[in-house]
Amino acid sequence: MLRAVEEIERGNYPNAFQLLVPLAAAGNPRAQCNLATLYHFGLGVARSGKKAIDLYRSVAEQNIREGHLSALACNNLATLFFTGLPEVERDLDEGRRYLAQARALGFEM
């Protein structure tokens, strides 16, 4: 996981993507959150709101309070639903729900 984060910090997103995929598939929530971010912004991979949402939701549902990981995932889900993407319709109610969940998990704006 550390190597993938280092690749992200260097801006080497394709390498980070290759490192994150197996970790995320194995259920690593940090890898899932990082991979979701790559999909969310199209960093080293084709932008996909649907894949980002699926991965962020996986992390959010794990209710991980350590490092506020689930709170971050909820906040990012709220952002996706507030703004929308070509394959993600804007849904203000869903955005508000995830924003409230992020705050309940300790995310501070």
Number of domains observed in the structure of the chain: 1
The position carrying tokens 């319709």 is: 89
In a domain, residue 109? The reply is no
Name the average pLDDT for the chain. Answer: 91
Residue 99 pLDDT > 80: yes
Q: pTM for the complete prediction?
A: 0.88
Give the pLDDT confidence of 6-41 residue by residue, as tens digits. Answer: 999 999 999 999 999 999 999 999 999 999 999 999
**Alpha carbon separation from 86 to 28, 47, 55, 59, 81 (Å, rounded):** 28, 10, 18, 23, 11
Report yes or no on 48 lying in a domain: yes
Range of the domain at 90: 2-104
With respect to residue 9, please indicate whether it lies within any of the assigned structural domains: yes
Distance CA 109, CA 103 (A): 8
**Which CATH number covers residue 59?**
1.25.40.10
